[in-house]
Structure 1
């Protein structure tokens, strides 16, 4: 059984196509748990119609009061759902038919190797599409110029796990079932990736399993990291914007150590995470020295340049 967690908010424009892609999965042993965060359009009607078609597989939760963000909505779903495996679903994408099958296949292989008591995360590549599902890029990882291989030193400053491709096992879910520093968590997928990297294993399906729809209302979208216009705007945003993002990653790490620090057995890893969490208190020379000495650098020359300039 795979539990699919879907966070919705005024998603009527694209939701039906996403639901149909879930129903068309080659792996049929799924259940869908939806957290709606106060939709005022036709989202609930679309969900209820889908629930009538699959009454034994669909649960709709109407958040009252609303959670207030996709992050909070997804974490609430993680904390209040059950199953051996959990996948994460955005309201505006479309899954390819074998998405669950391929991801679960990788998960089961990793559990067979490392055991079910190991927190495991599996993610995949994805295809980038426009609002009409016309192809923009076959591979999100090439398009956004982010690494497929996840190294802890890099993960601390740059998340390369896309939540809508992610599956976690029950062991990893347990790390969410405790008081969490919600204000310090950047996104649920970033937090899950850190848990898996520090305490368990991360697996990757090296093919696109879904269409990542880009449109004007995306809260998080794919960016062409090689596009000169995108790079110009990033540079134009300047120091304050970039520093804010870096500080958020440091505060997140501080929260991570506060939450799980006593469980980190590797002293070198503990000291690396703790030092990064405290780095925003330091001067720029000490920060740059830390990046260099510990290889804590983002992927891509432009990202590295901004890190050296403003980090």
Structure 2
């Protein structure tokens, strides 16, 4: 591995909003990252703040003044977390080697950057992304548990109906970022993590799912999106599915994929067409098209939910 590959130019995309309570700890975990051989990473932290009314921006300025990490801070669109991160994707520098999403209240483990660099290294000439599990912690930093472990291969057929990892676990190379940036210019998405998974796999890129967590995901009352674990979470997903939220999300994703169809492989355009046919049929008539599309979720339970959603026109 040459020197540039050992110490790539890295961009971290951080969306903030009233995050002062936990932000300093997160910034410390970013600033203390080290690479193999004790090398200090070349980091640029892009911050988009959505109108914080606490000390968030002052904490960012304080961290930037330390000089450990280059900080580029700007005002967000104030239209929710997904639009804040889309704004970051559209406005950050486009010549970095590796990009990572970052939440304001997590903690990066010491090996997060090195793990991403090592896993992305074989894909210098193709779009690639790393994602994985999180170690869930509470407000005090005490361990709560791990996010679900998924074992089926990441793919576009999976991405159409499921986001398998939080954006805070994602790292992707410049070619994957180019796909994300180009596609994001066509309009808003449901969530930045789901869309990144969709467009990278849809374009034929590689997604590497890592079972060992490299971040601690803090669960607290102020989280916009909670941990996807437990019976209550499962019941809540069923409730939202019955109310049509899953169908609405799919419709929005499909609309944006249609605007970016030139980025999809021929095979994945065919998969998308079959999935759309499954959604347009009433009741059991959609199931043959769903099976033909080959789409799948990661667990037996969630696949049963998928088939039920199709049968009851909630897909």
TM-score normalised per structure 2: 0.85
Aligned to 1:249: 250
The range that moved more, 204-213 or 288-297, is: 288-297
Aligned to 2:290: 291
Contact 1:110/1:203 (<8 A) preserved: no
1:50-78 CA-partner distances (Å, limit 9, x unpaired): 11112761111123xx3411111111111
How many angstroms apart in 2 are the aligned matches of 1:302 and 1:102?
31
Aligned to 1:240: 242
Displacement of 1:33 in angstroms is 0.9
Aligned to 1:19: 27
Aligned residues: 293
Aligned to 1:140: 147
Contact 2:190/2:252 (<8 A) preserved: no
1:276-310 CA-partner distances (Å, limit 9, x unpaired): 24544331223222223333232333323332333
**3-state SS of the aligned residue for 1:222?**
coil
Question: 1:222 aligned to 209, 219, 227, which one?
Answer: 227
Aligned to 2:57: 44
Displacement of 1:218 in angstroms is 1.2
Displacement of 1:258 in angstroms is 2.4
Backbone CA RMSD of aligned residues: 2.2
Contact 2:277/2:289 (<8 A) preserved: no
Aligned to 2:98: 85
Displacement of 1:107 in angstroms is 0.9
Contact 1:98/1:209 (<8 A) preserved: yes
The range that moved more, 14-23 or 27-36, is: 27-36
Aligned to 2:122: 109
Aligned to 1:73: 84
Displacement of 1:178 in angstroms is 5.5
User: Which runs of 5 or more residues in structure 2 are unaligned?
Assistant: 1-8, 36-40, 311-315
Contact 2:45/2:69 (<8 A) preserved: no
Displacement of 1:179 in angstroms is 6.3
Change (3 A) 1:206 1:187: same
